[in-house]
Amino acid sequence: MNFSFTLEELLRQAKKLKGKTVDFLLKHKEFDSGKGAIGNIIEREGFGIANNNESRPDFPELGVELKVLPLKRDTKNRLTVKERTKICSINYMNLINEKWVSSHAKNKLNKILFIFYEYNQKNPRHSKVIDYYLFNLDESDEPLLKSDWERTKREVELGRAHSLSESQNVVLAASRSGAGKLPESKWPEQPNQRIQKNARQRAFSLKPSFTKTLWHEVHYKNSLDKIIDKYKYSDAEGLENYILGQLNKWQGQSIAEFAKHHNIKKMTGKASNAFILRSALGFFDKKKQLKEIMQLGLSVKTVPCRSSDLFPWESMSFPYQPLGEIINEDRFDESEFYTYLQGFLFIPLLRDKREKQNSSTITLGKSVIWHPTHDELEDIQEEWEQIRNVIRDDLRVWKKVTNNKKGFVQKNNIPGESDTKYIHMRPHGRDSNDLDDSIKVKITKQSFWFNKSFIQKLISG
């Protein structure tokens, strides 16, 4: 089976696959084994493409690359991207002689036919094609992809291919690929071997933050506003500086003044972070999220804090996660909590008292964007493991007599804010009857929180 498609035929074929399961595509053939099995099946049975690692696009005459992208259900049962999408292996020797416009990577990124399927963990054969989308690299995606590619090229030129890491880049990562346990002597050589001769094999991959955004655009049409429509940035740094610049024009102004200027009625409540950001950037459609904020993976947080020293009045909560899940998480970098740590845009709101005040006495502080560094993640990992281990091995819950209405509160031995530097765990339910039923011990729903002193450090710069 080997088809030669026109673009129309190709898209018609993609459309035909919608709703089909892997089982259906395979007819009675045997299920492939190993990594990427479902991707291979869809490419082969759906489009007649044999598993290959050619550098040309899958449909050379159309310049179209085919990518099969797995989706999974998130905690709210919505479909979201499961993992990164590999684009092409990196040849360190060639990379330093390439230019972005004619590069191997861009050649593959120009036109991609994405086939989205829902991965069925219980029975992979029941995984089902959900949708397709022909991606054209345009001006709204190119700057971030290009500046990531350039950054990686620069590192390789400097003879630092061995210290590349996924987190250096924003949307197009140089991620590890190939056999995991090869000895260093079997790694490919890098140019400029002043520091080290060999470097681990890596591939350019689209990060989940990029494909998540793409999926969002495909699935919820016209749902995103684009910052690039207001300001033409050329790299992530320029973009982040622009965002901060627009926000920090208002530093020192009260949020009442800010609200009045932007004609916002309500500046309080849980949507205030989005209001402030969107308004400062000149967007007024409340329904739409910002494409670049999603691509950068930034969580936007307002931080009420003390005017004198930026000490937050409250810790910052993360979503509730059943303890029964946490105790089964072995690796921090594969944990749910880790996925929340991509990046943050903190918007400090300064006030003198802890109690909520009139909006004319609350002023905007200096906003900060923070991406956790490798070292910071290691520190956080230690505390995450400490907390997980207590829940896993030695969780205890008891009642303590008090003067409140009920006459007692529920206590537990999970590390709290005074036991840690970065994160702690604390109740986070509707009330004290809102119990976590994922675990035998009767305990109120809990969640991770950032410690106040840690947030203070981050927003103090």
Least distance in angstroms from the C-beta of 376 to DNA:
19
Token pair for residue 370? 């923070």
Least distance in angstroms from the C-beta of 328 to DNA:
18
Q: Indicate the length of the chain as a whole number.
A: 461
Interatomic CA distance for residues 304 and 315, integer angstroms: 10
Least distance in angstroms from the C-beta of 426 to DNA:
5
CB 172 within 8 A of CB 149: yes
Least distance in angstroms from the C-beta of 387 to DNA:
12
Whichever of 83 and 419 has its CB closer to DNA, that residue is: 419
Whichever of 98 and 336 has its CB closer to DNA, that residue is: 336
Interatomic CA distance for residues 69 and 176, integer angstroms: 18
Q: Rounded to the nearest 5 degrees, what angle is found at the Cα of 208, between the Cα atoms of 205 and 214?
A: 100
Least distance in angstroms from the C-beta of 296 to DNA:
17
Whichever of 268 and 339 has its CB closer to DNA, that residue is: 268
CB 82 within 8 A of CB 71: yes
104 to each of 55, 137, 435, how far by Cα in Å? 7, 14, 53
Whichever of 113 and 443 has its CB closer to DNA, that residue is: 443
Whichever of 152 and 273 has its CB closer to DNA, that residue is: 273
Least distance in angstroms from the C-beta of 424 to DNA:
6
Q: Rounded to the nearest 5 degrees, what angle is found at the Cα of 100, between the Cα atoms of 156 and 175?
A: 50
Interatomic CA distance for residues 114 and 225, integer angstroms: 22
Least distance in angstroms from the C-beta of 261 to DNA:
19
Interatomic CA distance for residues 329 and 349, integer angstroms: 35
Report the interface residues with DNA, using CB under 7 A: 75-76, 266, 268-273, 301-302, 304, 306, 311, 314-320, 354-356, 400, 402-406, 409-412, 416-419, 424, 426-434, 444-445, 452-453
Whichever of 149 and 275 has its CB closer to DNA, that residue is: 275
Whichever of 53 and 404 has its CB closer to DNA, that residue is: 404
Interatomic CA distance for residues 280 and 227, integer angstroms: 11
Whichever of 238 and 416 has its CB closer to DNA, that residue is: 416
Whichever of 80 and 410 has its CB closer to DNA, that residue is: 410
In degrees rounded to 5, what are phi and psi of residue 447? -150, 165
Least distance in angstroms from the C-beta of 290 to DNA:
13
Least distance in angstroms from the C-beta of 316 to DNA:
7
